[in-house]
């Protein structure tokens, strides 16, 4: 059956450039993906019935929106707990919120309310501990953004590069 190609269509339609590539190759090779849509075997009558089409895969940048909002929330919580750090932490919280807004715009979703994201762990009691915890969060976040940048299509690479760099500068600012 020509319509059900032995490839995970769900896999090829999401993610990074590499798989985007393979989809283009498939298309240029004449694969009728437009009709394919479903990985399950097709029966004759549901060929053009779009109701059972699987939902489009989530955008690979969607988790970064939440990650940015969680970082912003962590900074706000630390700034509240340690008012002496507020001048340093608040601009960084705003930067993370700006990242979430920009990422949401790029992937075409509404940015969730920043206030709705609560930090998972309360800030450390001493300000040095709080700063160290934020630095650790930024380091992990920098790594995830680096991977996203490496895999991103051209039109997203610059934004993601700025987010990687911002997360690196935040670690420096927290020292």
Positions in the binding site for other proteins (CB under 8 A): 17, 87-88, 91-92, 94-95, 98-99, 102, 146, 149-150, 154-155, 157-166, 168-170, 172-173
The candidate with the shortest Cα–Cα distance to 167, out of 143, 133, 150, 149, is: 143
Instruction: Quote the least distance from Cβ 19 to other proteins, whole Å.
Output: 14
Are 134 and 96 in contact, with CB atoms under 8 Å apart? no
Phi-psi region of 89 (alpha: psi -120 to 50; beta: other; left: phi over 0): alpha
Q: Give the residue with the Cβ less far from other proteins, 42 or 98.
A: 98
Q: Give the residue with the Cβ less far from other proteins, 31 or 93.
A: 93
The strand ranges marked E within 53-104 are: none
Query: From CA 173, how far away is CA 103, in angstroms rounded?
Result: 23
Instruction: Quote the least distance from Cβ 48 to other proteins, whole Å.
Output: 37
Instruction: Quote the least distance from Cβ 12 to other proteins, whole Å.
Output: 18
Instruction: Quote the least distance from Cβ 166 to other proteins, whole Å.
Output: 6
Query: From CA 160, how far away is CA 135, in angstroms rounded?
Result: 19
Q: Give the residue with the Cβ less far from other proteins, 31 or 103.
A: 103
Q: Give the residue with the Cβ less far from other proteins, 62 or 88.
A: 88
């Amino acid at each position: 059956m020509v319509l059900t190609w032995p490839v995970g269509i769900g896999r090829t339609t999401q993610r990074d450039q590499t798989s985007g590539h393979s989809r283009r190759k498939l298309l240029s090779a004449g694969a009728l993906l437009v009709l394919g849509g479903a990985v399950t075997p097709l029966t004759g009558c549901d060929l053009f019935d779009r109701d059972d089409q699987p939902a489009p895969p989530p955008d690979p940048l969607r988790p970064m929106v939440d990650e940015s909002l969680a970082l912003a929330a962590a900074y706000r919580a630390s700034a509240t707990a340690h008012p002496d750090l507020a001048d340093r932490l608040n601009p960084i919280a705003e930067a993370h919120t700006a990242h979430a807004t920009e990422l949401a715009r790029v992937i075409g979703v509404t940015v969730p309310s920043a206030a709705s994201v609560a930090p998972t762990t309360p800030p450390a009691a001493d300000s040095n501990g709080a700063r160290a915890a934020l630095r650790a969060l930024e380091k992990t976040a920098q790594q995830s953004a680096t991977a996203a940048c490496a895999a991103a299509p051209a039109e997203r690479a610059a934004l993601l590069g700025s987010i990687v760099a911002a997360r690196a500068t935040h670690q420096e600012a927290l020292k």
